[in-house]
Structures are given as C-alpha cells and as structure tokens.
Amino acid sequence: MKHILLTLSIFFTIALFNSCAVNPVTGKKQLAFTSEAQEIEMGKEADPQIIAQYGLYENPELQKFINAKGREMAIISHRPNLTYNFRIVDSEVVNAFAVPGGYVYFTRGIMAHFNNEAEFAGVLGHEIGHVTARHSVTQQAKSTLSQIGLLAGMVLSPTIAQYGQEASQGLGLLFLKFGRDAERQADELGVEYSSKIKYDAHQMADFFGTLERISADSGNDLPDFLSTHPNPGERMITVDKLATQWQKKEGLQNPIIARNSYLKMIDGLIYGEDPRQGFVENNNFYHPELKFQFAIPAGWKTQNSPQSFQMAQPDGKAIMTLSLASGKSLQEAASSTIQKYGLTVVQNDQQTINGLSMIRVVADQPANQQQQSPALRTLSYFIAYGTNIYHIIGVTDLNSFSSYENQFRNTMSGFKVLTDQQKINKKPNRIKIITATGNTTLTQILNIRKVNDTKERNEIAILNGMSLNDAVTNGMMIKVIDKF
C-alpha cells in the first residue's frame, strides 16, 4: 500500500509539474492546464458568439485606428507571437474586455467616453495585459462565456435566479470576470504598454475618474468589498504613480495625448441606444426595422441585443425573452423548441392575436437535482409575422407561475404591427464635436445650446471628462449630443 501511495504521489507530482507553464509576464511558473494552442482555439470559438450577441459597429476609420494601435502595442507586449484581433462591438454599455488568444473588444459606449488617444491606449494596454498575463485563460470558461450563454440563450436553465441578480444590477456589469490582483496587474501592464508606445499613461488614470463618475451617476457605485474590481478611485491614484515611474524609465519628455485627432474620429458616433435595433420608450418596446411593438411589465429590467430582447422581474423570479424561432411553420417552430429544451407540454392551442397567427404553449421543465434547480413552468407564444416566426417565452418556477401568468400573457398578447411613423423613423443620438469660438465654460456652452435638463447636462460633463464649471478655451473641441 505504501508503495502504491508513493507511486501515485510521484505520478501526481509529475502531472502537476507538467501542467505548470512559465507566465509570460512574471517569468514564474504557474499552474496551467490550457496550452497556448488551446487558448487560441478558445478565442476563435468565443469570437463569433460575442459578435452574434452584440454585433459589430461599422466605422472603418475607427476600426483602422484600433487595429493600428493594437498591432503597435502587441509588438512590444510580453506575447508578440500571438495574432491579435481588435473589435468595436455595437453596445452602448461603457466596457472593454478580452478573451483568450488575443481577442480584444471595445464597445462603442466606451469609445464615446474616451477624450483622447492616450485614454484609449491605456485601456487597450490593460486588455492586452489580461491576454499576455493569461488571466483570461482561467476565467474564460467560468465567466465570459457563461455570461454570453446566460444573456444570449433561451434562459431555460437553473440560472434563472442568477439572471435576475444580473438584471437587478442594471445589466451593465457584464464582465466582472477577473479578481482584484489580476485587474491590478492589467492596470500595471496598461501603463507599461501605453508608455512604451509613447502615450501619456496619466490619461489612463483620468479615465478611471470618468468610470467612477459613470458608476455613481448610474447608481452602480460598487464599494471595494462588493466588487471583484479595485475601486476606480483607488485605481486612479495607483495608475497615476505608475505613469510617472514609467515616463521616467522610458525618458518620455512629451508623451502623446492626441485629443483633437481622437475627437475628430468619433464625430458622428452613435451614442446610447440605437433605435434601429429596437428601443424602449414609456414601458413599450419598439422595433422600427422589423416593425413590431409590445408592452413591458412596469418596473422590469430589460436587455436588448441583436439576438434577443429580454425582460427580467427585478428580484429574478420571472423572466421573458423574445427571439426568432427556427422553423418554416408555427408548428415546426413550436415542436423544435419543445424538443430542444426538453419541455413537457401541459397545454397548447392555436389562435390569432392582433391579426397575426400564433401558437400558445404552456410547458414544464422538470427539476434538476444535480444542479439544484426547481421545476420550471413556461408560457410561449409563437407568432408568425412577415417572413419571421417570433418566440416570446416567459419563465418562472412551477409554484410561482400563477403569480406571473397574467403579466406574461399581457405582454405576449400585446405583440402587434408597428405603424407609428414617428417610432419607425426614430433616429439615434450621435456624438457631435464642436469647437469653442472664445474663452468660456462648459455651462455657458450648454446654455447657448439650450440644454436645460440637469441629467443631460451632467451626462455631457461626464462625456467630456469635465465639470460643468470647467473652463473651455478658444479653439478647444467639446463633445455634445446631437438629438434627432
């Protein structure tokens, strides 16, 4: 027995040793069960899912810019051998994230909030840092992809309560994926990499100030002990110190900021929700291109994406999702969905709502003891409209179904053709870059432009990384929001 135990001990020691790899950033060995080839493959698999979830934002000039800066930074990084890919995704959420193998994503929301190339370069370095330090390898499977699956899927799973928690946090914090140590290391690498390509990393620190204000303004101000990320204010101080150290080390006398060149690039950028992809207004969802509308239960949280529109009861006890169903007929669409999710039909019927043919199905998903999930009951409407079949599904646990059934039915039976031309022709808000014609303040500029709403004035101040009373000098470029 002792001989067997010794043999096993040696075997596991060798296996563990063979699973250790040298971290490209620290030079130290770390436990890693994923090879570089596997890491690259993970990124290749994740990339189309992310694009399908958010869509790409088409802006050739901005894309050319991030490709050029990304390649320049990749060369001086700790892993220049990787083939990096840089994307702008079509989301108003202020975010940037990376997945294994060198895939880096910026939302158009974060691109709108940068005020110069140096701020962008700092965040670019931070995300490349996650890749070079292999943070994303250990986090990818359990975080980013699980979030995508959670938000893109049909939500018929034990994650219903978890979805509710995400929704109640505003559905903006989609990628709280790395621990504090990893985030701090990525901040350090962001400063290092951006400094090495001659940008002013102090601007990265300033951008953390902008993030702090965005969080506070949206009511998502998470204190240190509630978030896996370091607090933005704490990061700002640390990054500022690191920037001074790296500028001295690199001998940077006049580091690049490049404010005007960046602002010119984002002139006309879509800001906020893009109504062409559907928008919420007065508790109603409108889709101008597909020309349909329906009501949303009061107080429910929403999340829109190219694949689906989701609604969640704030405490996570009930959710609804609208998406396209696969199938050439209503019956085929209903049958394939029931089969796909292993549902047991309780009742179904076929009728017409608002002039549209539809099949209504009540079906159950049994409890899963292994995953500790309760039995779920679902209500589905499969609606034929134009060349598409739309599937609206409501999900809650079996015991709560009677409490939410009326809300499910009211929303689903309210699906109808959109004919209001004002809604159909609604245009997105856009960033507009204006140039001050004299020495003034941001407040005075907004007064002249008749921006009187307090919330909008604060939003524009944050967008510019300024306070309302900050001085604006003659010739200085400023962002405002062009509303249509």
Statement to judge: residues 137 and 215 lie in one domain:
yes
Q: What are phi and psi of 222, to 5 degrees?
A: -95, 120
Identify the pLDDT of residue 163.
34
pLDDT digits (tens, 9 = 90+) for 139-152: 544 443 343 333 22
Predicted model pTM: 0.79
Statement to judge: residues 348 and 474 lie in one domain:
no
Q: How large is the average pLDDT for residues 3-27? A: 47
Sign of CA dihedral 245, 250, 252, 255: negative
CATH number at residue 397: 3.40.1000.10
Listed as own residue / partner, the contacts of 440-448 with beta carbons closer than 8 Å and 24 or more positions apart are: 440/471, 440/472, 441/468, 441/469, 441/470, 441/471, 441/472, 442/466, 442/467, 442/468, 442/469, 442/470, 442/472, 442/478, 443/468, 443/469, 444/472, 445/472, 445/478, 445/480, 446/480
Percent of the chain beyond pLDDT 70? 80
Statement to judge: residues 394 and 294 lie in one domain:
yes
Statement to judge: residues 48 and 183 lie in one domain:
yes
User: Residue 2 belongs to what domain range?
Assistant: 1-33
Statement to judge: residues 216 and 69 lie in one domain:
yes
Statement to judge: residues 254 and 320 lie in one domain:
no
Identify the pLDDT of residue 294.
98
Residue 37 burial (C-beta neighbours within 10 Å; 0-12, 13-18, 19+): exposed
Beta bridge partners of 281: 284
Residue with tokens 């436990």: 31
Tell me the average pLDDT of the chain.
84
**What does the block give as tokens for 59?**
């802006």
Q: pLDDT higher for 25 or 257?
A: 257
Statement to judge: residues 282 and 198 lie in one domain:
no
DSSP 458: H
Residue 193 lies inside a defined structural domain of this protein: yes
Residue 225 has pLDDT above 60, yes or no: no
> How far apart, in whole angstroms, are the C-alpha atoms of residue 88 and residue 220?
24
Number of domains present in the structure of the chain: 4
Beta bridge partners of 280: 285
Q: pLDDT higher for 166 or 362?
A: 362
Statement to judge: residues 338 and 204 lie in one domain:
no
